[in-house]
Amino acid sequence: MGMTMTQKILAAHAGLESVKAGQLIEAELDLVLGNDITTPVAIDVMKGIKNDKVFDREKIALVMDHFIPNKDIKSAENCKCCREFALKHEITNYFDVGKMGIEHALLPESGLTVAGDCIIGADSHTCTYGALGAFSTGVGSTDMAAGMATGKAWFKVPSAIRFNLIGKPSKWVSGKDVILHIIGKIGVDGALYRSMEFTGDGVRNLSIDDRFTIANMAIEAGGKNGIFPVDDIAEEYMKSHGNRPYKVYEADSDAEYDEEYTIDLSELRPVVAFPHLPENTRVIDDIKEKVTVDQAVIGSCTNGRISDLRIAAEVIRGKRIADNVRCIVIPATQKIYLTALEEGLIKDFIEAGAIVSTPTCGPCLGGYMGILAKGERCISTTNRNFVGRMGDTESEVYLASPAVAAASAVAGFITAPEV
């Protein structure tokens, strides 16, 4: 029996000719990632390791992004801990204020993630890099510590689900709508510990940013990872963002999949995930009631890239944010922020009555820069809408694309732009 893309990458990094689903392996790592929340825990674990040196200072990335700039004393202490560790071990890829960004947008932009890599990160949305044909997955801080010390990690080889994408999305339908549609179809545990492999002619009609969004939210379906084939779009992105060599893996024709789904992108409409799970989806046309919102957030590791900001600005340009709606725009990296500034997008947002923040995870995890009070509703381009995710346990988060979030900010209630 043949192997899937994910299985081929894992086999190569384990030094094996082949692997099969359920097999336990030890794999060599190309990158170990941590942020300002998870890294201090890993550092504490490393203190108990006899040889507490890192395996390769160039293959560790520490990104200060969750509570940055520091929102309180605790977050300042966490970042100080990371900073001192990075200095002690001469970590090459340490990102702090001034050169920071949301980790899962920053690392691909910096050329640190490429096709064929085996990557772990102490953050659940590390699966983002599958958009480039890498195996990447989230782990706990203890596994991060072991990875930093040894350059290796244990895995149970996942089985896979194949999503055959066909057709071309219509205007205002993006990668966010694709993955919300899929999660709504299979549920938040529908891909539990399985690889979500996206294939088909429709892939070429998805931008690299669409693919980042889809791979990013594989974890919201319970997936071990999400992964796309490497085509000219992915190769152009990697070549324009770095010079690391990459390796292309393709699934065998006789690879085994637990399930297969065909998604016609041309039939999709904007999708909104209602509280309190990403699977609680409704197509925009089926929302008959007027769902008013108090806040709109456009940003995050899911939808804070330049294409997302361009879409939101196109919807908002020349209009005004509705009274009693707070619209918060967060570019995912400094480079994205600067590009948005140069293109006039920041001007569009501010003239419409929105605010623009420095790159940060901020409100996505209820950190800061947009906490919700009891009874408030937020339409957000983030990736989770669990109870209390963005503030009070009696607040509500609705997940949507940048187009829908922007249109809703202007209308004051959940809606999509007119085609």
Of 212, 194, 207, residue with least CA distance to 134: 212
Residue 302 scores a pLDDT above 60 = yes
Residue 419 scores a pLDDT above 90 = no
Cβ-based neighbours of 233, under 8 Å, separated by 6 or more: 204, 207, 208
Of 106, 113, 133, 139, residue with least CA distance to 301: 106
Contact present, 104 and 137 (Cβ < 8 Å):
no
Residue 352 scores a pLDDT above 90 = yes
| pLDDT > 70 in the chain, percent | 100
SS3 214: helix
The separation between CA 222 and the C-alpha centre of its own chain, rounded to angstroms, equals: 14
At 98, the amino acid letter reads G
SS3 160: strand
How many C-beta atoms lie closer than 10 Å to residue 280's C-beta? 17
Burial of 87 (0-12, 13-18, 19+ CB in 10 A): exposed
What is the DSSP pairing of strand 281-283 with strand 271-273?
antiparallel
Residue 346 scores a pLDDT above 60 = yes
Compute the distance between CA of residue 11 and CA of residue 1 in angstroms, rounded to an integer: 14
Of 61, 72, 69, residue with least CA distance to 38: 61
What is the per-residue pLDDT across 30-47, written as a single tens digit (0 to 9) for each? Answer: 999 999 999 999 999 988
Please, which pLDDT band fits residue 418 given cuts at 50, 70 and 90?
confident
> Which pair of tokens denotes residue 242?
């770095």
What DSSP state is assigned to residue 337? H
Please, which pLDDT band fits residue 154 given cuts at 50, 70 and 90?
very high
What is the per-residue pLDDT across 171-189, written as a single tens digit (0 to 9) for each? Answer: 999 999 999 999 999 999 9
SS3 53: coil
All domains of the chain, ordered by start, with CATH?
5-264 (3.30.499.10), 271-411 (3.30.499.10)
Compute the distance between CA of residue 212 and CA of residue 256 in angstroms, rounded to an integer: 25
- pLDDT on residue 64: 95
What DSSP state is assigned to residue 151? S
What is the per-residue pLDDT across 63-122, written as a single tens digit (0 to 9) for each? Answer: 999 998 999 999 999 999 999 999 999 999 999 998 889 999 999 999 999 999 999 999
Please, which pLDDT band fits residue 50 given cuts at 50, 70 and 90?
confident
Cβ-based neighbours of 48, under 8 Å, separated by 6 or more: none
Q: How far is CA 128 from CA 88, 113, 183, 284, in A?
A: 29, 10, 16, 26
SS3 99: coil
Of 277, 297, 284, residue with least CA distance to 380: 297
H/E element holding 149?
helix 141-150
Compute the distance between CA of residue 225 and CA of residue 419 in angstroms, rounded to an integer: 34
- pLDDT on residue 48: 83
Q: How far is CA 204 from CA 21, 163, 211, in A?
A: 28, 14, 10
What is the DSSP pairing of strand 152-156 with strand 24-28?
antiparallel
Compute the distance between CA of residue 93 and CA of residue 417 in angstroms, rounded to an integer: 40
- pLDDT on residue 95: 96
The separation between CA 225 and the C-alpha centre of its own chain, rounded to angstroms, equals: 11
What is the per-residue pLDDT across 243-284, written as a single tens digit (0 to 9) for each? Answer: 999 999 999 999 999 999 999 999 999 999 999 999 999 999
**Average pLDDT score, the chain:** 95
> Which pair of tokens denotes residue 2?
């043949």
